[in-house]
Structure 1
Amino acid sequence: MTQSSEHPVAIVTGSGGGIGRAIAVRLADDGYHVVVADLAKERAEATVDQIAEAGGRAEAAVLDLRDEVALSDLVLRLPRIDAVVNNAGIFDERALLDLAAEDFRRHYEVNLIAVFALCKAAIPRMQKGGKIVNIASRAFLGARNHAHYVAAKAAVVGLTRAMAMELAPSGILVNAIAPGLIETPLLQALSPERLAQQLALQPTGAAGRPEDVANAVAFLAAHRTDFITGQVLFVDGGKTLGGGLGI
């Protein structure tokens, strides 16, 4: 899809599937030219095809978010950058005493440092009214069996607030979304017993859809929310009201 400076441009990382694909599709519906950034070429192109079939504008950007040179090359070739959605991340489940320092380093590198690196590359290309939305997790409040993931997502929330304060004078707004239990391949891989346990902790009794997170991103990316920055929006079916320690 040919880029046009007339259309706002959004970079969405990890948008080859799941929540990221839903975000990319929603932003394309809202008129953005979406850069589908993903490590997997086939998945990225599938998202682009889905957007194109619906009449939207998108292009694939296949890259490793840990590669700062690739990030710089990406942002420099775009005609403009209006929104950055940092969705890409990794997750695994292990008890605290089964973790090693390397597990923390790996999660921080992908879930946190890559967020910072893309923002650092993109911010000089953004104008007043630009939006950054970081996908954290409800788990940043604390959860069992993935302390490394919890710590990295808590750091994403801290980074979001720090960036919001520093960028506010420039008119660039930064917020985070903390999804709870969402219907993704990770959830589908749970045993029926484990899934039932998780759903029992939901006030709504159900998991959310990727589109629920996408709608929240669209809300924060819109100019009607230009007085919101440094906030964390929970998309968790009310889980933060209480009810247990599961994610």
Structure 2
Amino acid sequence: LLVNNAGGQFPQMALDFKVKGWNAVIDTNLNGTWYMMQSAARQWVDRKTPGSIVNIIADIWRGMPGIAHTCAARAGVAYLSKSVAVEWAPHRIRVNCVAPGVCETSGFVQYPPEGLKTYPGANPMLRVGDAHDIAEAVVYLASPGAKFITGEVLTVDGGEQLWGDPWPPGRPDYFEPKNT
């Protein structure tokens, strides 16, 4: 089993990205994930053993204003995973992703208070998730219970992709609801 859960980003509007910051996020979140996937798959193929990869991405389905760099990288991981799930199926290697929505973790300290205040209403459950929500999804995809699942993304977001309006760096005034 390989679980790719490393990553990083910083809240910033896309017009303000510097090359170094963009490359750091892409290199960590996309390239680092790829290198781990390829290394694990090569070992399993050489040993003729089955394997399972679970990549942690993000709830990218509606874009991620304020952290577009990580959205781009995580979307790349999602579709890379789908592509190699097909290529590696003959080797009995399953590749899936878990896409967390807003989950309270130690990473919350990276975001300004104005960004965090939007999170409790970011999904119809009106709360944030936690690390256990994501861990349980990973355990499921890694388990024999998911032996016929490959190339999929399990979104664990409390319905955020259907509802929410998160802005990690805080919602710009332009997008604040206006009373008419």
**TM class, shorter-chain normalised?**
0.7 to 0.9
Matches within 5 A, 1:146-157: 146-157=67-78
Is 2:86 the counterpart of 1:165?
yes
SS at match of 1:93: coil
1:191 Cα deviation after fit: 5.1
- Cross-structure match for 1:12: none
Matches within 5 A, 1:89-238: 89-126=7-44, 127-139=48-60, 141-188=62-109, 190=111, 192-238=113-159
Deviations 1:15-57 (A, max 9, x none): xxxxxxxxxxxxxxxxxxxxxxxxxxxxxxxxxxxxxxxxxxx
State the TM-score, normalizing by the size of structure 2: 0.84
Closer, same or farther in 2 for the Cα pair 1:141/1:186, shift >3 Å? Answer: same
Question: Superposition RMSD on alpha carbons, in Å?
Answer: 1.8
CA distance in 1, matches of 2:17, 2:112: 23
- Cross-structure match for 2:175: none
Deviations 1:128-151 (A, max 9, x none): 441000000003540111111111
Q: Which runs of 4+ in 1 moved over 3 A?
A: 188-194
1:190 Cα deviation after fit: 4.5
1:193 Cα deviation after fit: 4.5
CA distance in 2, matches of 1:148, 1:192: 21
CA distance in 2, matches of 1:103, 1:192: 22
State the TM-score, normalizing by the size of structure 1: 0.62
SS at match of 2:80: helix
CA distance in 2, matches of 1:114, 1:192: 30
Closer, same or farther in 2 for the Cα pair 1:189/1:108, shift >3 Å? Answer: closer
Closer, same or farther in 2 for the Cα pair 1:201/1:89, shift >3 Å? Answer: same
Closer, same or farther in 2 for the Cα pair 1:177/1:230, shift >3 Å? Answer: same
- Note if contact 2:13-2:66 (Cα within 8 Å) is conserved in structure 1: yes
Deviations 1:69-97 (A, max 9, x none): xxxxxxxxxxxxxx000000011010111
- Note if contact 1:184-1:210 (Cα within 8 Å) is conserved in structure 2: yes
SS at match of 1:138: coil
Larger relative contact order, structure 1 or 2 (CA cutoff 8 Å, min sep 6): 2
CA distance in 1, matches of 2:145, 2:159: 24
- Note if contact 1:129-1:223 (Cα within 8 Å) is conserved in structure 2: no
SS at match of 1:132: strand
Tell me the amino acid that sits aligned with residue 112 of structure 1.
Answer: L
CA distance in 2, matches of 1:124, 1:217: 22
Tell me the amino acid that sits aligned with residue 158 of structure 1.
Answer: Y
